[in-house]
Amino acid sequence: MHNRLAQEFVIDELTKVYNRRCFYQNVKNAVTNPYTILIIDIDHFKSINDNFGHDMGDQVLKEFAGKVNALFESENIFARIGGEEFAGYFPSSNIDDVAKFSQAVLELVHTIKVKDDRFLTVSIGIAKRISDEALDSVMKRADQALYLAKKNGRDHFEVAP
């Protein structure tokens, strides 16, 4: 029972990746400075639930999380932080590497079939921690970059200034 509760404390039940609580706790305790944060949001997820049902939405979330999580290396963290939104932590400030990784995520999710000829897309916001910037501030800048990616047509990534 104790192991099960401990597991539920850190793992999202549906997707089997880390949850929001675990993500924030691990990143706040990270000693790497600077680091980079990604926020990944599934494009038009509400329409998947509305048009194909919540069972299909859950299936898409599970498949997406499993495939993207497999791209993350051991020192990186991938988590579901809410609904159809996920976050990634990279103990690196090399934006070129993170951009290449983000492009790989965009291409990988195109292999996830929603229904018939509809495939999944995501938008990604990227922010590099500046000096001793608080995690909440880095997350806010990554979120702003995500909204810019969505505003600019979705299915791509933007890097926060």
pLDDT, residue 8, reads: 64
Q: Which helix (H) or strand (E) holds 123?
A: strand 122-128
Taking the CA atoms of residue 147, residue 66, residue 22 and residue 93 in that order, the dihedral angle to the nearest 10 degrees is -60
Q: What pLDDT band is residue 92 in, cutting at 50, 70 and 90?
A: confident
Q: Which helix (H) or strand (E) holds 39?
A: strand 36-42
What the chain holds in terms of domains, given with CATH numbers, is 2-159 (3.30.70.270)
In percent, the amount of the chain with pLDDT more than 70 equals 94
pLDDT at residue 81 tops 80: yes
When the pLDDT of each residue in the chain is averaged and rounded to a whole number, the result is: 92
Pairing of strands 122-128, 36-42: antiparallel
Give the distance, in angstroms, between the CA of residue 21 and the centroid of all CA atoms in the same chain: 14
pLDDT, residue 3, reads: 56
- pLDDT tens-digit map of 5-23: 556 679 999 999 999 999 9
pLDDT, residue 136, reads: 95
What is the rounded CA–CA span in Å between residue 158 and residue 142?
9
